[in-house]
Structure 1
Amino acid sequence: MNLFENIISEDKLNPVFKMLQTAKQLDPAKLLIHEISSEMKDNDRNFIEQFQSTGFNSRLWEIFLFKFFKENGFSFDFTKNRPDFHLEKNGIDFFVEASLSNEVAEEKFTKEFIREAEKNNDLVVQEELIEHYVMRMGSVLYSKLQKKYWELEWVKGKPLVIAIAPAHNYLSNFLPDAKIIEYLYGLSYESKSKEEAHIPIKVVRTENHKLGEKEIPPNFFELPDTENISAIIFTNNSDLHKFNRMGHQKGISKEFILMERAGLAFGTIPSAYPVEFSQSIIPGEIKEDWNEAVCIFHNPNAIIPLNRDLISNIRQTWIDENGELEGTMPKFYPFNSKTLPVAIE
């Protein structure tokens, strides 16, 4: 596939795609995306068209997942066009369906709306944003559940995983995965205080999520048919800036670019304070890999569980024999960051 050879009219091009085509500061991302996608198969025969128009974020997520699985030693079977990925490693094969919480037409939480709320320190809007986040992610997962991929002859008897990433508004990539844990398992970490909300002291049952008149129950893994879902893969670190950093540290571009990244990260101790971090992304200095900030949430009720040993050096969460949250955490686990690339003439 050649994603950057336009096949649709100029007026239908996605504005982010157009920026990616021409912006010098995004040249590492463009070159890396071209490199990765050239190895992929277009089973749907509309990948390029969607990448250049209305499906840019969804197709970028699939490119990320392809590279993530390849870097972790999986092989691909492209003979079927659904679910999105049929993977094999160490004699174990399973299927992955890619999902994204794209922006909807009636989106209330626009970039301008959120910035105004931030400016006014509007705590009500902040709480609404969090509940909206849960509902958008929950809606996407529920819609994928209705596809019943486990009934397909080639999927029967194999683990089935849904991979999801947030892209529904300006702040969706900055919220950590704690809200996903709440929705999936119906459990949440009770904080020490509102002022220290990031310091969990115990796990409690989650109440229903509510926003306006809309209300959804917690614990996705207790919904009918979810026993057919082996696990959920999640990350908020798969956007264009991810590809730009990975391409720049690889030295793939000839452009002279200064690139800085800053954010918050957790270490291996869940109760520790999140730590501010900053990095200068420099060609030849490898600071990041494709596993960074990717999580696998295992379904405690899965008929066919996903083997936890398939991927190492990654965050994984499951429910132990006592009904408590258990898991693994890499030594460095960023849950949000901002990246500033500047092209020097």
Structure 2
Amino acid sequence: MKEIFKHIVPEEKLNPVFKLLSTGKQLDPAKLLIEEITSEMEDNDGNFIQQFQTTGFDSRLWEIFLHKFFSENGFNFDNSYNRPDFYVEKDGFDFFVEASLSNEVQEEKFTKEYIFKAEKNNDLDVQNELIEHYIMRMGSVLYSKLQKKYWELEWVAGKPLVLAITPAHNYLANFLPDAKIIEYLYGLSYESKSEEEPHIPKKIVRIENHKFGKKEIPPNFFELPNTENISAVIFTNNSDLHKFNRMGYQSGISDEIIIMERAGLAFDTTPSAHPVEFSQSIIPGDLKEDWNEGVNIFHNPNALIPLRRDLFDNIRQTWIDENGSLEGTMPNFYPFNSKTFPVGLNLG
């Protein structure tokens, strides 16, 4: 696709974030990188650019991320079909990927202002509400994709099918780590050692249900009917516009001189198992981050056609071992969440 930033819809219909990305010098690295990635992509639906510029900005940005993610991991693309979203191949192993995200719903309660107020007042009830709402939104998206029954399509039948999801339903969504997705997908949770040491796992416990308001859903997505047709779920909370801006700026793609700082919590590889704080200055030529960072592949223990684990290097993967416990691989650096602080242009 060429000229993805050339307006093809009236000005008043443009997505405000797209408009900012198109003109804001502080986002120049992200813009240039997105142009580079999409120049290698095919518009299988025929409406990619139109949606990217309007109501589907977040969804299409997620697809751009996934295209780059698979490309960087050595996959080839087959654009013969317009659904599911990707058909990829590596080392003689091919599979389909359907991309989705948890969009905002109408009359969203958890606005940025509402969350800020809860944080300021240390309102634990709102915090717990946010977590359960998060699970409901993510679970609802995965369940709706299950109803599409892509495995019944002639060209998908007999191939592994992967669902890829990222949270985008409110301001806090990207700050919640993947522990809650693990609870929903497998119905398992780590019970902490004590209230004083909440991050030290004691044992794995089974989750009974998830409840938000009057709505209640069962845990363990991989036990639902028809989920045996899903080989794995790919998840990340690290695929937003800040990701593209950091990746673009560190690569040196932009001539702008920008002050860009990042901080967050990462997995601790020492026995203490406490999340550790980290901070980074994003500098051209200093390649701190890659496209695998923050991505987790959750393998379905009941999959009719499992996804091969050896297709990915230096990436977090999770599965259930023969004893029914959570097992997996962890890269040397795995951020649970992060925030890119307001970038500024260095005019000095």
Structure 1 length-normalised TM: 0.98
- Deviations 1:73-112, CA, capped at 9 Å, x for gaps: 0000001000000000000000000010011112111111
Q: Which runs of 5+ in 1 are unaligned?
A: none
1:195 Cα deviation (Å)?
Answer: 4.3
Residue in 1 that maps onto 2:252: 251
Secondary structure of 2:94's counterpart equals strand
Secondary structure of 1:30's counterpart equals helix
- Deviations 1:271-320, CA, capped at 9 Å, x for gaps: 61111001111001100100001000000000000000011100000000
Q: Is the 8 A contact 1:201 1:271 kept in 2?
A: no
Q: Is the 8 A contact 1:163 1:232 kept in 2?
A: yes
Secondary structure of 2:335's counterpart equals strand
- Deviations 1:151-172, CA, capped at 9 Å, x for gaps: 0111111100000000000000
Residue in 2 that maps onto 1:86: 87
1:44 Cα deviation (Å)?
Answer: 0.6
1:196-211 equivalence runs, <5 A: 196-211=197-212
Q: 1:205 to 1:97 in 2, by over 3 A?
A: same
Residue in 2 that maps onto 1:63: 64
Residue in 1 that maps onto 2:182: 181
Residue in 2 that maps onto 1:47: 48
1:11 Cα deviation (Å)?
Answer: 1.1
Residue in 2 that maps onto 1:235: 236
Q: How many residues matched?
A: 345
Give the whole-Å Cα distance in 1 for the aligned partners of 2:17 and 2:195: 37
Q: Is the 8 A contact 1:267 1:330 kept in 2?
A: no
Q: 1:217 to 1:270 in 2, by over 3 A?
A: farther
Residue in 2 that maps onto 1:342: 344
Q: Is the 8 A contact 1:102 1:166 kept in 2?
A: yes
Q: Is the 8 A contact 1:267 1:329 kept in 2?
A: no
Residue in 1 that maps onto 2:163: 162
Task: Please identify, of 97-106 and 141-150, the stretch whose mean Cα deviation from structure 2 is larger.
Answer: 97-106
Give the whole-Å Cα distance in 2 for the aligned partners of 1:13 and 1:112: 24
1:121 Cα deviation (Å)?
Answer: 1.1
Q: Is the 8 A contact 1:268 1:330 kept in 2?
A: no
Q: Which runs of 5+ in 2 are unaligned?
A: none
Return the letter of the residue paired with 2:218: P
Residue in 2 that maps onto 1:289: 290
Give the whole-Å Cα distance in 2 for the aligned partners of 1:259 and 1:201: 38
Q: 1:310 to 1:271 in 2, by over 3 A?
A: farther
Give the whole-Å Cα distance in 1 for the aligned partners of 2:186 and 2:263: 30
Give the whole-Å Cα distance in 2 for the aligned partners of 1:301 and 1:193: 33
Give the whole-Å Cα distance in 1 for the aligned partners of 2:106 and 2:29: 31
Residue in 1 that maps onto 2:137: 136
Secondary structure of 1:154's counterpart equals coil
Give the whole-Å Cα distance in 1 for the aligned partners of 2:238 and 2:180: 16
1:193 Cα deviation (Å)?
Answer: 2.7
Task: Please identify, of 133-142 and 98-107, the stretch whose mean Cα deviation from structure 2 is larger.
Answer: 98-107
Secondary structure of 2:234's counterpart equals strand
Give the whole-Å Cα distance in 1 for the aligned partners of 2:264 and 2:36: 28
Return the letter of the residue paired with 1:330: P
Secondary structure of 2:310's counterpart equals coil
Identity rate of aligned residues, in percent?
A: 79
Q: Is the 8 A contact 1:31 1:253 kept in 2?
A: yes
Residue in 2 that maps onto 1:317: 318
Residue in 1 that maps onto 2:122: 121
Give the whole-Å Cα distance in 2 for the aligned partners of 1:174 and 1:199: 20
1:105-116 equivalence runs, <5 A: 105-116=106-117
Structure 2 length-normalised TM: 0.97
Give the whole-Å Cα distance in 1 for the aligned partners of 2:196 and 2:46: 51
1:23 Cα deviation (Å)?
Answer: 1.2
1:208-223 equivalence runs, <5 A: 208-223=209-224
1:196 Cα deviation (Å)?
Answer: 3.2
- Deviations 1:186-229, CA, capped at 9 Å, x for gaps: 00000123343222211100120001100000000000000000
Give the whole-Å Cα distance in 1 for the aligned partners of 2:270 and 2:95: 31
Give the whole-Å Cα distance in 1 for the aligned partners of 2:197 and 2:105: 33
Secondary structure of 1:3's counterpart equals coil
Give the whole-Å Cα distance in 1 for the aligned partners of 2:313 and 2:272: 22
- Deviations 1:21-60, CA, capped at 9 Å, x for gaps: 1111111001000110111000111111111111111000
Give the whole-Å Cα distance in 2 for the aligned partners of 1:325 and 1:284: 38
Q: 1:39 to 1:203 in 2, by over 3 A?
A: same
Return the letter of the residue paired with 1:126: Q
Structure 1 residue 280 corresponds to structure 2 residue 281 = yes
Give the whole-Å Cα distance in 1 for the aligned partners of 2:169 and 2:38: 24
Secondary structure of 1:96's counterpart equals strand
